[in-house]
């Protein structure tokens, strides 16, 4: 895998994940209490033997840069790296990245170096576990110029994806972005379920192959495709063009995969991780998820009832509290007799000193954390929020517009943005 270069796309403004992306980029959004989204593709690369990684960033990238710098450091004799390539003005141009393909095109001079034969293009906001070494092996065996990871889906789900049609050898022969009707699926992109079954995957009625946005290019092919076009997007432009001009192979994947592009998908993916039989296992010893080592103390719980939840390091949870079906992030301070259900609390960046807590009290504002007697149900609480005593915030099918303009309702989920202050007995 030494001749494989991974390029992870940091994404755009992340407006569908607002307000979680108000002050950070999509890949820097916290996940499962202690990770960040970017840890997923980087961990997949490391576990696959790939340790030469470029990360292309553009928006709100300060916290992402800090996380990468603090987390990923390789043996200097091995040559591994995770290096950030931020949008910048150069002699060739002064524009920002104008799409996924444009971002890669603007950095080709970094990729087209001796020693690299393949370029793996990944997204920075997906949750999955994949062995890219197997993808490379299948790519070589097929004699492909481009390979794309393909996920079997039902025709109902197909309407939200780019769908491919393959021949008996696995070569991609057609592509349609978000087909609207059964007629389009049947005539253009439906795949014979026998092809899927023959590769050891049970189709179970899933006769469509969705693009996962994971591409493996021969380096020469990538340079050729990008240098001879001005296409800006891989999924909508470069990939369909490459089907017409090159050998594109579908690499079948049938594990858990989730595109975390909206508040709703983020909320549901996190809560799915709390299930007894979670669809994505964090506790995989052979293929772990790596992140920043923080050296925090164990969480302290005093007479707390916990059911089906994840609790990260360094938390202090008060007596009589109940936590159910929730994710509790790093350094969470939760008061007494608090009920937290179906919620995601991201925790705090730092502990407050006794002097800081006293200063907050003198100023009449809550300290960082959740006060006594609170109820949080169906809520995402971003980092460093100050929630006073007796605050009740409950989600549901019918949500009223909050009086506090800082609190946001997005995709039917209540989000309390980073650093928000909710005074004592505030209710929604």
pLDDT value of residue 62: 85
For position 200, what pLDDT does the model report?
A: 80
Q: Whole domain around residue 28: which residue ranges?
A: 4-272
Burial class (CB in 10 A: 0-12, 13-18, 19+), 61: buried
In a domain? residue 81: yes
Q: Along the 428 residues of the chain, how does pLDDT read in single tens digits? A: 889 999 999 876 778 899 999 989 899 999 999 999 999 999 999 999 999 999 998 777 788 889 999 999 888 878 899 998 876 555 455 566 777 888 888 888 888 776 899 999 999 999 999 999 999 999 999 999 999 999 999 988 988 899 999 998 899 998 988 888 888 888 878 788 888 888 888 888 788 899 999 999 999 999 999 988 888 888 888 888 899 899 999 999 999 999 998 999 999 999 999 999 999 999 999 999 999 999 999 999 999 999 999 999 999 999 999 999 999 999 999 999 999 999 999 999 999 999 999 999 999 999 999 999 999 999 999 999 999 999 999 987 656 656 666 789 988 899 999 999 999 999 98
Q: Smallest Cα–Cα separation from 370: which of 362, 359, 358, 382?
A: 382
Residues 244 and 304 in one domain: no
pLDDT at 342: 97
What CATH number is given to the structural domain containing 159? 3.90.550.10
Find the CATH number of the domain harbouring 359. 2.160.10.10
Q: SS3 letters for the chain? A: CCCEEEEEECCCCCHHHCCCCCCCCHHHCEECCCEECCHHHHHHHHHCCCCEEEEEECCCCHHHHHHHHHHCCCCCCCCCEEEEEECCCECCECCCCCCHHHHHHCCHHHHCCCCCCEEEEEECCEEECCCHHHHHHHHHHHCCCEEEEEEEECHHHHCCCEEEEECCCCEEEEEEECCCCHHHHHHHHCCCHHHHHCCCCCCCCCCEEEEEEEEEEEHHHHHHHHHCCCCCCHHHHHHHHHHHHCCEEEEECCCCEEECCCHHHHHHHHHHCCCCCCCCCCCCCCCCCCCCCCCCCCCEECCCEEECCEECCCCEECCCCEEECCEECCCCEECCCCEEECCEECCCCCCCCHHHHHHHHHHCCCCCEECCCCEEECEEECCCCEECCCCEEECCCCCCCCCCCCCEEECCEEEECCCCEECCCCEC
The answer to whether residue 428 sits within a structural domain is: no
Q: Cα separation of 129 and 49, whole Å? A: 14
Residues 306 and 258 in one domain: no
pLDDT of residue 190: 79
Pick the last residue of a domain from 228, 257, 272.
272
Q: Does residue 344 sit in the same domain as residue 410?
A: yes
Residue 332 placed within a domain: yes
* 262 & 304 share domain: no
Cα atoms found within 13 Å of the Cα of residue 383, Cβ hemisphere only: 20
177 found inside a domain: yes
pLDDT at 91: 47
- Note the pLDDT of residue 227: 86
> What are the angstrom distances between the C-alpha of 372 and each of 341, 352, 376, 389, 420?
15, 17, 12, 5, 17
Residue 390: which of 345, 422, 363 has the closest Cα? 422
d(CA 26, CA 18): 9
What pTM does this model have? 0.93
Q: Which of 326, 223, 316, 353 is nearest to 272 (CA)?
A: 326
Q: Between the CA atoms of 23, 25, 26 and 30, what dihedral angle is there, to the nearest 10 degrees? A: -60
**Domains in the chain: how many in total?**
2
pLDDT at 403: 60
Residue 295 lies in a domain: no
Please, what is the Cα angle at 323 between 322 and 327, to 5 degrees? 165
Residues 145 and 91 in one domain: yes
Calpha distance 255→237 (Å, rounded)? 27
Q: 335 and 266, same structural domain?
A: no
The confidence score (pLDDT) of residue 10 equals 83
Q: Are 116 and 218 in contact (CB under 8 A)?
A: no
Copy the structure tokens of residue 100. 């996924």
| 249 and 122 part of one domain | yes
Is residue 258, in this structure, part of any structural domain at all?
A: yes
- Residue 153 pairs in a beta bridge with 208
Pairing of strands 386-387, 421-422: parallel
Q: What separation in angstroms does the CA of 391 have from each of 192, 292, 374, 375, 386?
A: 55, 32, 5, 6, 11
Q: What is the pLDDT of residue 393?
A: 94
Rounded Cα–Cα distance for residues 27 and 391 (Å): 31
Cα separation, 428 vs 420, in Å, equals 14
């Amino acid at each position: 895998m030494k001749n494989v270069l991974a390029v992870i796309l940091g994404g755009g403004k992340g407006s569908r994940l607002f307000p979680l992306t108000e002050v950070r980029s999509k890949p820097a959004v916290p996940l499962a209490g202690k990770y960040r989204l970017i840890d997923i593709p980087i961990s997949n690369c490391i576990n696959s033997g790939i340790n030469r990684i470029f990360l292309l960033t553009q928006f709100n990238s300060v916290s992402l840069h800090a996380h990468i710098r603090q987390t990923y450091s390789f043996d200097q004799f091995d040559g591994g790296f995770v290096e950030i390539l931020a949008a910048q003005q150069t002699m060739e141009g002064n524009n920002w990245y104008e799409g996924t393909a444009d971002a890669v095109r603007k950095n080709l001079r970094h990729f087209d170096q001796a020693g690299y034969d393949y370029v793996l293009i990944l997204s920075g906001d997906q949750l999955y576990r994949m062995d890219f070494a197997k993808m490379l092996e299948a790519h070589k065996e097929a004699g492909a110029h481009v390979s794309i990871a393909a996920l079997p889906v039902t025709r109902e789900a197909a309407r939200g994806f780019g769908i491919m049609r393959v021949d008996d050898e696995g070569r991609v022969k057609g592509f349609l972005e978000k087909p609207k009707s059964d007629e389009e699926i049947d005539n253009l992109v439906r795949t014979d379920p026998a092809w899927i079954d023959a590769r050891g995957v049970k189709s179970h009625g899933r006769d469509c192959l969705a693009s996962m946005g994971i591409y493996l290019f021969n380096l020469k092919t990538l340079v050729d495709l990008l240098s001879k076009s001005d296409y800006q997007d891989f999924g909508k432009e470069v990939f369909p063009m490459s089907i017409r001009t090159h050998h594109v192979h579908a690499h079948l994947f049938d594990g858990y995969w989730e595109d975390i592009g909206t508040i709703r998908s983020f909320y549901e993916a996190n809560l799915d991780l709390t299930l007894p039989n979670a669809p994505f296992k964090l506790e995989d010893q052979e293929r772990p998820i790596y992140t920043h080592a923080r050296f925090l103390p164990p969480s302290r719980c005093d007479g707390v009832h916990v059911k089906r939840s994840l609790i990260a390091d360094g938390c202090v949870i008060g007596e009589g509290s109940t936590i159910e079906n929730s994710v509790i992030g790093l350094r969470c301070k939760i008061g007494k007799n608090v009920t937290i259900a179906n919620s995601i609390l991201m925790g705090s960046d730092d502990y407050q000193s006794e002097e800081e807590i006293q200063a907050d009290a003198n100023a009449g504002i809550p300290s960082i954390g959740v006060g006594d007697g609170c109820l949080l149900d169906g809520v995402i609480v971003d980092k460093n929020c100050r929630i006073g005593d007796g605050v009740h915030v409950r989600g549901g099918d019918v949500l009223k517009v909050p009086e506090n303009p800082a609190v946001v309702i997005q995709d039917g989920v209540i989000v309390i943005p980073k650093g928000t202050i909710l005074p004592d007995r505030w209710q929604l």
